[in-house]
Every structure is written in structure tokens, then in C-alpha cells.
Amino acid sequence: MTEPSIREATIDDAELAADLMTASYPSLAQDPVITRYRWEHPRDGYSVGRYIAERDGAPIAFLDWIHGPWEKLPDRHCEIDVSLDPKYADQQVLASLYRWLETTVVEDGAKLVLAYCLEDQTMYRAVFEQLGYERERSEKVWELDLGVEGRRLKKEAAETLQQARDGGIALTTLSAWPDSRKLEKLYELDERTRHDIPHTLPILSETFEDFKRRTAAPDRPDDRYWIALDGDLPVALSYLRFPPVRGSVWTGYTCSHPDYRGRGLARAIKLQSLAQAVDLGVKFVYTDNDSENAPMLHINEQLGYRSRPGFIGHIKRVQPEQ
């Protein structure tokens, strides 16, 4: 069997990379427009590597790695991933591609690598065991059938909208909020809540410029980005990601200000986005949460989400600790 060759990907390979990622796990289809947007707008200070593996001139896999600034990562961890087209599925080929990535990121200075797979990706799990990875954290994935649950969700959305108003909280969209400093205020809320997500490895703060670029992505229209306001202060937010070409609709992020928790605002604001999705004709909505994020897991169960195969994180030390 011919060993695959590996070349560095260019910006014009974004669509090909999206196709390979989609082929690797079709139920998590990747949008080519969003893929290119992310490549064109990397996070400040982050380092990335992107590659196409080919056999006899045909693309068989997309490989990539990403890490934050080493000076902010004492453990020097780097996330790596291989999306192998199932037509070329072979455990030894997959293992060799991960080994190649490991060697590449060690040369870049990584000491710890992090790799994900879905619970039902048995070949990936076997490769990680073969290569000496240890299971780290897991994320639950949920599916909400709006065809079944839509009418109930719209009713609950209307009820929570009124309850929020009665409590002095307005629920609105980013496009309808006229505040000239709204992005700065949303950034402050986002930053304040991100670090509350259960984690083992560090969650790096995002620059305001990165936040603006992320908020302006083609899958996040302003009129589908929901905010709970106490006067001019945003206290909760939730939005869905609507891929422009292909893929499923996913919850992007849902959070509530620490001083306003326990008032049902995260659930209320999430319900507004779901009711809107029903009106837009969306059939299914997906979300994922860390398996230890009890409040959001409880909200998802209340809303009618059903569990799907989740993500499993695996770690491997590739350089000895000093």
C-alpha cells in the first residue's frame, strides 16, 4: 500500500478541507464558507498548521494543529486532529498520520497533545490507545427535534419572555439593541463567563478584536443572536450557528452573568433562539456541553434534547516534564 504524502494546505484548500472533514464524520458536516472564514481570521497570537494527505494524487485526509501563545500555556498543550476519508479508512494509516502530527508539533515546541474523537469512532479510539493516549474530559452532544418539540418550545418561549419582562429583564436580539457599546459589553459578559466552564487545561482569554471577528462570522446573523438586558447591561446571551452552505444548526454559546444566576435567564434566552429556529423551519438543533457542566445539562434535559454520541478528549505527553 502506498504511503500517503503530506503537503501544507493553502487558503484555497479550505473547501477541500471542509469536504474531508465532512466525509470523515458526515453527521458533523463542515461548512466550506465558515471553514475559509476561520482560516482567514485566525485568533490573535495563536499558531496553526494545516495539511492535506494524499495518496497517488488523491486527497485522503485533512490534518491540523492549533495552540495558543506558549508563554500563556505552562503545560504547552497543542490540539491535533486528523479527518480521514472513510474510503481510505485503515487503522495503521490513521496512526501514522497522528504520529506525523505529533512529530510536527514537538518540533514547534509542544509538550502535551490533545486529540478528540466521537464516542462511536471506534477506529480513532483504538488508534489513541495504540499510541499511548489517556482519556481526559468528555463532552455530551445533544439533539433537539424541533418538529416534535417546536410547538411546546414556542409556548415556553412566550411564557419566559413575559416572566423576564415582569422581572425587569428585556429579551432582544443583537440587531435590535441600539447601544453603541453593545459589542464591548457582550465581550465583557462573554469573558466573565467563559472561565466558569469546567476545564482541566487553561481557557485563554480572547482579545476584543477576536471577539468582534467571531461575532461577525457568516453563521451568526445579528438578528439571531439573543441577549437578556437589565437596563443597558447584558446579563445573559445565547445564539445559534446557522451554516450558510451545509451542516447542522448548533448552539454557539449560552451563558448567564454570575449575579443573575438562579433566575432562569439562561433557559429563557435559549428558548427565544429555539423558537426563532422553529419559525425559520429548522428541523433539528444540536448542542454540546462538558459532562461536568451540570446547570447546562439540566437545561438541555428540560428543553427536550436527546443524547447523541459525545466527544472524548485524549491527552498524551510528547515531551518530558522539566
Per residue in 108-152, pLDDT tens? Answer: 999 999 999 999 999 999 999 999 999 988 888 999 999 999 999
For residues 262 and 286, membership in a common domain is answered with: yes
Domain count, the chain: 2
Domain region containing 55: 5-132
* 61-76 pLDDT, tens digit each: 999 999 999 999 999 9
Average pLDDT, whole number, for the chain? 93
Q: Are residues 126 and 147 in the same domain?
A: no
**Contacts for 107 with CB less than 8 Å, ≥ 6 apart:** none
The CATH number covering residue 24 comes to 3.40.630.30
Residue 48, SS3?
A: strand
Closest CA to 286 of 322, 321, 261, 251: 251
Q: What pLDDT score was predicted for residue 232?
A: 96
Beta strands in 24-57 (DSSP E): 47-55
Give the Cα separation of 10 and 170 in Å (integer): 45
pLDDT of residue 290: 66
Is 44 in the same domain as 146?
A: no
Q: What would the pLDDT profile of 93-115 be if each residue is shown by its tens digit? A: 999 999 999 999 999 999 999 99
Does 160 map to a domain?
yes
Residues 220 and 258 in one domain: yes
Q: Can you read off the three cell numbers belonging to residue 266?
A: 439562561
Mark the ranges of the chain whose per-residue pLDDT is less than 50.
none
Continuous segment of H or E residues that includes residue 198: none
Residue 62 CA to residue 43 CA, distance in Å, equals 20
Is 319 among the domain residues? no
Residue 288 lies in a domain: yes
Residues 159 and 229 both lie in one domain: yes
| Residue ending a domain, choose from 132, 165, 181 | 132
Give the span between the Cα atoms of 227 and 238, in whole angstroms. 7
Name residue 237's beta-bridge partners: 227, 255
